[in-house]
Structure 1
Amino acid sequence: MEYRRVPAVPGGDSFLGEKGPTEGSLILAVLPYVIMIILLPIGSFFFTKSYVFEDILNYGDTTANVYAAICAVVVLHVLLAMFIYKAFKESPVRGLKQD
Structure 2
Amino acid sequence: MEYRPLSSVPGGDSFLGDKGPTEGSLMAAVLPYVIMIILLPIGSFFFSKSIIFEDLLSYSETTASVYGAICSVIILHILLALFILKAFKESPVKGSKQD
TM-score (norm 1): 0.81
Within-5 A mapping of 1:1-99: 3=9, 5-8=13-16, 18-95=18-95
State, as a whole percentage, how many aligned pairs show the same letter: 69
**Cα contact 1:5–1:23 (8 A) shared by 2:** no
User: Closer, same or farther in 2 for the Cα pair 1:35/1:92, shift >3 Å?
Assistant: same
Whole-Å separation in 1 of the counterparts to 2:37 and 2:50: 21
Distance apart, 1:95 and its partner CA: 2.6
Higher relative contact order (CA 8 A, sep 6+): 1
Q: Which residue of 2 aligns with 1:11?
A: none
CA RMSD of aligned residues (A): 1.8
Structure 2 counterpart of 1:91, one-letter code: S
Q: Distance in 1 between matches of 2:92 and 2:57?
A: 48
Cα shift readout 1:70-96 (whole Å, capped 9, x = no counterpart): 000000000000000000011111236
Between the two proteins, the alignment pairs up a number of residues equal to: 88
Structure 2, unaligned runs of 5 or more: 1-7
**Pair 96,55 (structure 1): closer, same or farther in 2 beyond 3 Å:** closer
CA distance in 1, matches of 2:90, 2:71: 29
